[in-house]
Amino acid sequence: MKLILTQPVSGLGSAGDVVEVKDGYGRNFLLPRKVATAWTKGGQKQVEAIQAGRVKRAAQSAEDAAATRAALEGTTVTVTARAGQAGRLFGAVTPQEIAEAIVAAGGPQVDKRGIEVPTPIRAVGEHRVHVRLHEGISAEVTLDVVAG
């Protein structure tokens, strides 16, 4: 299945890329989440418009991303979550909660879709998360989860 990405997808491509994916992945994951549209000949114009906009914003956003990375690198952010006696959380820490904690700690505003958590955070303690700021620019933040 040939699709046009409308938003960046980790491991697949960025907005405006034309990608070839398996039918089930496109139909069950990408299309319902509105991160891709079906490729058509008329859709090629849409691809060109998205890529032109991306090139225009790329230079300025790369500079902003580098400044944000400098502010985030080495930062420890604290998130309070409900936990049991053994330190297991009731649920998991979400990217939305991480983004809010970064802002609460005095850090810059980050997009929750750019926060990559390798494994679900379901225990109290220190964890590392990656914040994707721009294509090729990411920051690593230490997340301290405490029971509350």
pLDDT, tens digit, for every residue of 85-141?
888 999 999 999 999 999 998 888 888 888 999 899 999 999 999 998 887 888 999
For tokens 């964890």, what's the residue?
127
Look at the alpha carbons of 79, 74, 54, 33 in this order and tell me if their dihedral is positive or negative.
negative
Percent pLDDT > 90 in the chain is 48
Upper half-sphere CA count for residue 82 (Cβ side, 13 Å): 2
Q: Kindly write down the DSSP assignment for every residue of the chain, as one continuous string.
A: -EEEESS-BTTTB-TT-EEE--HHHIIIIITTTTSEEE--TTHHHHHHHHHHHHHHHHHHHHHHHHHHHHHHTT-EEEEEE-B-TTSEEEEEE-HHHHHHHHHHTT-----GGGEE-SS-EEESEEEEEEEEEETTEEEEEEEEEEE-
* pTM greater than 0.85 (yes/no): no
How far, CA to CA in Å, does 38 sit from each of 5, 16, 34, 141?
9, 12, 10, 36
- Whether 59 has a pLDDT exceeding 70, the answer reads no
> Which pLDDT score, from 0 to 100, does residue 130 have?
92
Look at the alpha carbons of 129, 133, 136, 137 in this order and tell me if their dihedral is positive or negative.
negative
State the average pLDDT for the chain: 88
- Whether 28 has a pLDDT exceeding 80, the answer reads yes
pLDDT category of residue 68 using cuts at 50, 70 and 90: confident
